[in-house]
A and B are shown apart, each in its own frame.
Chain A
Amino acid sequence: MDLVEAIADLREEEALKIVKDRLSAGEDPLKILEEARKGLEIVGNRFASGEYFIPDLIYSGEIMKQITEIVKPLISQTTQVKKLGKVVIGTVAGDIHDIGKNIVVFMLEVNGFEVYDLGVDVLPERFVEKIKETGAPILGLSGFLTLAFDSMKRTIEALKEAGLRDKVKVMIGGGQVTDEVRKYTGADAYGKDAMAAVSLAKAWVGASSNFGRR
């Protein structure tokens, strides 16, 4: 039985059984985790190609969470997986919507990015602090309400004041965000969906994008 496939096809019970069986057979938990990650990557690709939808993504995340809970306590040493780059992300001040942002986080993670998710209602100074702390070259700002436009603008201004604007690429997205809003906020780019966010992030770190134009 194939763990990668079971996760990719969202067969929860089967996936969990494989994990437990293989652990009790003494298999390396790191190898199991790596296979699970590959399964999620396939889920991400199917989502990008329109075969999967938001529910599939969320359900796969739930399956992964359970696998991680089983496997994590058994891992003694951590291995350093090579990441494509760091991204700081959050829903801007005054806005507590996070469904879209969480999908972007999921897609960035399965595509190899190290994502620092600051959650919702994030003040400009918290974004700036996190950028300083992590040295992330990419900032993702999410917002669902129209009031988020001003918060995005203020966040980008705060970045400027901190002298970081030329070191960080900023992408925005969410509900009513369009290129008009991008201009208004002073962001570098806006993304219509999570796939756009991955393409932008990959382009910015100089990695090739695997969506559409392979």
Chain B
Amino acid sequence: MEKKWEEMTPEERQEVLIQRWLSPKDPQGENLKFKTPEAEAEYKARVQRLVDAIQLKKVPDRVPVLPLPNMFPVYYYGITVQEAMYDYEKCFAAFKKFVLDFQPDATMGCMGPGPGRFYDLVDYKVYRWPGHGVGPNQCYQAVEDEYMKADEYDALVTDPTYYFLTVYFPRAFGSLKGLSLLSPPTYVLEFYPTFSAVHFIPFALPPVQEALKVMAEAGAEVLKWIQGVVGWNLEIMASGFPLLAGGGCKAPFDTIGDTLRGTKGIIIDMYRQPEKVLKAVEALVPIMIKMGSEAAKQNGVPLVFMPLHKGADGFMSDQQFKTFYWPTLKKVILGLIEEGCIPFLVAEGGFNSRLEVIKDLPKGKVVWMFDQTDMAQAKKTLGDSACIAGNVPTDLLAVGTPEQVKEYVKKLIDTCADGGGFILTNGAFFDEAKPENVKAMVEFVKEYGVYR
């Protein structure tokens, strides 16, 4: 009889997720039908190549190569970002062309541009997007603000879900202001039936009803879009290309710094109310673990994408990193590993001063993707314990030549690929790039990165 998930060891859980990654199912639960036997063989070889590079148990057949774009597929296909955000079919076609033309070992999918009409409907304040603050051919960009005020840490920690729903949502979404009137669901107790009843009063209020109406409409739009995404995923997998990540989450410090308080806000808090910050990051640990691992399990892909922002070199001192950033990030990483997942940590900026600290993790369970970190030092410090990935510079892809790209890739492979444990990627997610440079990056790895 099959073991229940709860009874499995973390290793067994990871094995289950890897098997599901290797043998994807269609929505009916049947084995996915690949387009050709070659596509199936290539698909499995690609997953195995990534697994070998990550687990450090054996050397893969060659260095896996992942060109990880931001809006590049949109530009490459010749449509605007605005078109990609509002005409889903065009967006899917663009990302399909990218995968088929550049033949990566895995893809982050086609979700980047996202459903534009959703942002319109909810009046999303956290971003500017084409037609709403940036030009038609520019990527959306985040607008940092104090969406959470300095004196709201206690409210966040006491009930994060209620805080998000009734305080963060009304500030982040212009059309959802009415949600601020909702009662905490945890007040509905077996106590005295009238007390339960009164907490339903907010649903009768026009601002709440208005918000709920918008949410229903916005949700329907996202549902329409995600059905296309699922179809895209199945087709791309059937063509031989694995999905790279099954879910995503953030470092607790970034969740507060990026999402709630903003850079300046959380920095001032580290000095004025350090205890509150520490309590809050702690409170977010189980939420982040659940966010990443549930999606990974649902999608049958063990990798969990984690973009890291405010822990980069210079963004805080080593002491602050060890106090505010790393302890709860480490707990999230370990919690994900416990659930059989493989955290894919995207260390944006430089992580040179952090390498000694972050090596303190179990062997062969994570990927560190580096942007501007010294890769020789990264290999030296982490090579025995973790798979590293990186770091072809985005500027080189944008303004360099294919020869320069090849030269860089060669040096990178010579520095990092020895003995396995290396995935070649770009350093940061790219928008503008010369297609011939992206091609040179992928093709040269396939030629030069073979282990013999």
Residues of A within 8 A of B198 (CB): none
Is B187 engaged at the interface, CB distance under 8 Å to the other chain? no
Query: Which residue of B138, B271, B393 contacts A94 across the interface (Cβ within 8 Å)?
Result: B138
Is A149 engaged at the interface, CB distance under 8 Å to the other chain? yes
Contact A12 B272 (CB under 8 A): yes
- Complex Cα gap A163–B396 (Å): 31
Least distance between B132 CB and chain A CB atoms (Å): 12
User: Which of B264, B320, B396: most chain A Cβ within 10 A?
Assistant: B264
Residues of A within 8 A of B399 (CB): 149, 180-181, 183-184
Contact B317 A55 (CB under 8 A): yes
Contact B431 A178 (CB under 8 A): no
The digit string for A146-167, where 1 denotes a CB below 8 A from any CB of B, is 1101100000000000000000
Query: Which residue of A10, A12, A150 contacts B432 across the interface (Cβ within 8 Å)?
Result: A150
CB-CB under 8 A for A146 and B398, given A12-B271, A53-B317, A53-B320 = yes
Is A177 engaged at the interface, CB distance under 8 Å to the other chain? yes
Query: Which residue of B128, B138, B143, B394 contacts A176 across the interface (Cβ within 8 Å)?
Result: B394
Contact B428 A175 (CB under 8 A): yes
Query: Which residue of B135, B268, B315, B432 contacts A53 across the interface (Cβ within 8 Å)?
Result: B315
Residues of B within 8 A of A74 (CB): none
Least distance between A98 CB and chain B CB atoms (Å): 9
Chain A contacts with B in 162-196, Cβ cutoff 8 A: 175-178, 180-181, 183-184, 193
Residues of B within 8 A of A176 (CB): 393-395, 398, 428
Contact B134 A55 (CB under 8 A): no
User: Which of B135, B317, B396: most chain A Cβ within 10 A?
Assistant: B317
Contact A95 B395 (CB under 8 A): no
Contact A62 B268 (CB under 8 A): yes
- Complex Cα gap A10–B317 (Å): 14
Q: Who on chain B is nearest to A120 by CB?
A: B141
Contact B320 A149 (CB under 8 A): no
CB-CB under 8 A for A96 and B428, given A55-B320, A62-B268, A180-B399 = no
- Complex Cα gap A181–B396 (Å): 8
Is A97 engaged at the interface, CB distance under 8 Å to the other chain? yes
Query: Which residue of B133, B143, B270, B395 contacts A55 across the interface (Cβ within 8 Å)?
Result: B270
- Complex Cα gap A12–B270 (Å): 13
Q: Who on chain A is nearest to B348 by CB?
A: A175
- Complex Cα gap A123–B363 (Å): 50
Contact B268 A58 (CB under 8 A): yes
Residues of B within 8 A of A184 (CB): 398-399
Least distance between A31 CB and chain B CB atoms (Å): 27
Is A203 engaged at the interface, CB distance under 8 Å to the other chain? no
Residues of A within 8 A of B428 (CB): 175-176
Contact A97 B267 (CB under 8 A): no
Residues of B within 8 A of A55 (CB): 267, 270-271, 315-317, 320
Is B184 engaged at the interface, CB distance under 8 Å to the other chain? no
Contact A180 B316 (CB under 8 A): no
The digit string for B9-52, where 1 denotes a CB below 8 A from any CB of A, is 00000000000000000000000000000000000000000000
Least distance between A85 CB and chain B CB atoms (Å): 26
Is B263 engaged at the interface, CB distance under 8 Å to the other chain? yes
Is A205 engaged at the interface, CB distance under 8 Å to the other chain? no
Is A99 engaged at the interface, CB distance under 8 Å to the other chain? yes
CB-CB under 8 A for A177 and B395, given A12-B271, A53-B316 = yes
Least distance between A82 CB and chain B CB atoms (Å): 31
Least distance between B310 CB and chain A CB atoms (Å): 9
Q: Who on chain A is nearest to B138 by CB?
A: A94
Is A207 engaged at the interface, CB distance under 8 Å to the other chain? no
Residues of A within 8 A of B135 (CB): 94
CB-CB under 8 A for A180 and B395, given A58-B264, A59-B267, A99-B263 = yes
11 new A-B contacts, CB < 8 A, other than A59-B267, A96-B143, A146-B433, are A10-B271, A58-B263, A94-B135, A95-B141, A96-B128, A96-B141, A146-B432, A180-B396, A180-B399, A181-B399, A193-B314
Give 27 A-B contacts (CB < 8 Å), ordered by A residue.
A12-B271, A53-B317, A54-B315, A55-B267, A55-B315, A55-B320, A58-B263, A58-B268, A59-B271, A62-B264, A94-B135, A94-B138, A96-B133, A145-B141, A145-B431, A146-B398, A146-B430, A146-B431, A146-B433, A147-B431, A149-B399, A176-B394, A176-B395, A178-B393, A180-B396, A181-B395, A181-B399
